[in-house]
Structure 1
Amino acid sequence: MAQIFTEENMSFELRQSPIPEFSWHTSQKLSEIVKSKHLQFDVRSLDPGKYSYPYHFHRNSEEIFVILSGKATLRTPNKFVELNKGDIVFFEIGPEGAHQLYNHTEAPCMFIDIGTNVGLDVCEYPDSGKINILPYQEIYQSNQNVDYYKGEDKVSEKWTLGDRT
Structure 2
Amino acid sequence: MPAPVMNIADAQYTDLAERSRSRGSAMPQERFGGRIAALAPALGARRLGFNVTAVAPGKSAFPFHSHRLNEEMFFVIEGTGQLRFGSATYPLRAGDVIACPSGGPEVAHQIVNTGATELKVLAVSTMLHPEVCHYPDSGKFAVLDGMGPDGFRHVGRQQDNLDYWQGE
Q: TM-score, normalised by structure 1?
A: 0.83
Find the residue that maps to 2:159 and give its secondary structure.
Answer: helix
Is the Cα–Cα contact under 8 Å of residues 131 and 141 in structure 1 kept in the other structure? Answer: yes
Alignment correspondent of 1:159: none
* 1:63, distance to aligned residue in structure 2 (A): 0.4
1:23 aligns with 2:14: no
Q: Which amino acid aligns with 2:47?
A: H
Alignment of 1:13-162 (within 5 A): 13-16=14-17, 17-20=26-29, 21-27=31-37, 29-95=38-104, 96-134=106-144, 135=146, 136-145=152-161, 149-151=164-166
Structure number with larger C-alpha Rg: 1
* 1:23, distance to aligned residue in structure 2 (A): 1.0
**Residue 144 to residue 9, structure 1, CA distance change in 2 (3 Å):** same
Q: Which amino acid aligns with 1:81?
A: Y
* 1:140, distance to aligned residue in structure 2 (A): 1.1
Q: Which amino acid aligns with 1:151?
A: Q
- Percent identity reads 27
Distance 2:124 2:32 in 1: 19
Q: Which amino acid aligns with 2:96?
A: D
Distance 1:26 1:142 in 2: 30
Deviates more, 1:127-136 or 1:84-93: 127-136
CA-atom RMSD in angstroms: 2.0
Give ranges in structure 1 of 5+ residues lacking alignment.
156-165
* 1:112, distance to aligned residue in structure 2 (A): 0.6
Q: TM-score, normalised by structure 2?
A: 0.81
Distance 1:122 1:144 in 2: 16
Give ranges in structure 2 of 5+ residues lacking alignment.
18-25, 147-151
* 1:60, distance to aligned residue in structure 2 (A): 0.8
**Residue 8 to residue 51, structure 1, CA distance change in 2 (3 Å):** closer
Aligned length: 151
